[in-house]
Amino acid sequence: MSQITTDSIPSGLRRLFCAGYDVLLLASLLFIATAIILIPYQSLTGNNLTSGVGRLTLQIYLLLIIVGYYLYFWSHGRQTLGMRAWRIQFVNQHGYHLTWSLAAWRLLWSLITLAPIALLWSSISRSQYAWHDQLSRTYPILVAK
């Protein structure tokens, strides 16, 4: 990881703004994904998915879309659409692309460490890395213009 300098580490605030972009993108993606399932289901059955197994199935479906969004973009091209706007990429400890497994570990550690709190911590930490960066051994870098 010798090629990553403190100049190439994005600030915690920049990463929070990037996460905000991704939340907006994911919200629209989830809206479309829900409509794709809900409209035909309600048209065919006359029921809605507000309770029971149908609701649980819809929630799992939406969770898989969120997980798939992050895993795909982190392991293919190193960045989500929000990260592209803020010029941030993720690399492994050797400076290479994330594999599917590293991206999955990063996502898991992000959930466990409550990523927004960990990002605020990175703003005051000497290393400038969030807890999930260190635990997953995946690191954010700034991309040159």
pLDDT in tens, 3-14: 555 568 898 888
Nearest Cα neighbor of 16 from 139, 95, 130 is: 130
Mean pLDDT value across the chain: 87
The pLDDT score that the predictor gives to residue 3 is: 55
* Within a domain: 89: yes
Residue 74 has pLDDT above 50, yes or no: yes
Global pTM? 0.83
* Within a domain: 1: no
The pLDDT score that the predictor gives to residue 42 is: 86
* Within a domain: 98: yes
Distance between CA 100 and CA 70 in Å, rounded?
A: 10
Residue 92 has pLDDT above 80, yes or no: yes
**Full domain range(s) for residue 68:** 6-142
In the chain, the number of structural domains is 1
The pLDDT score that the predictor gives to residue 62 is: 96
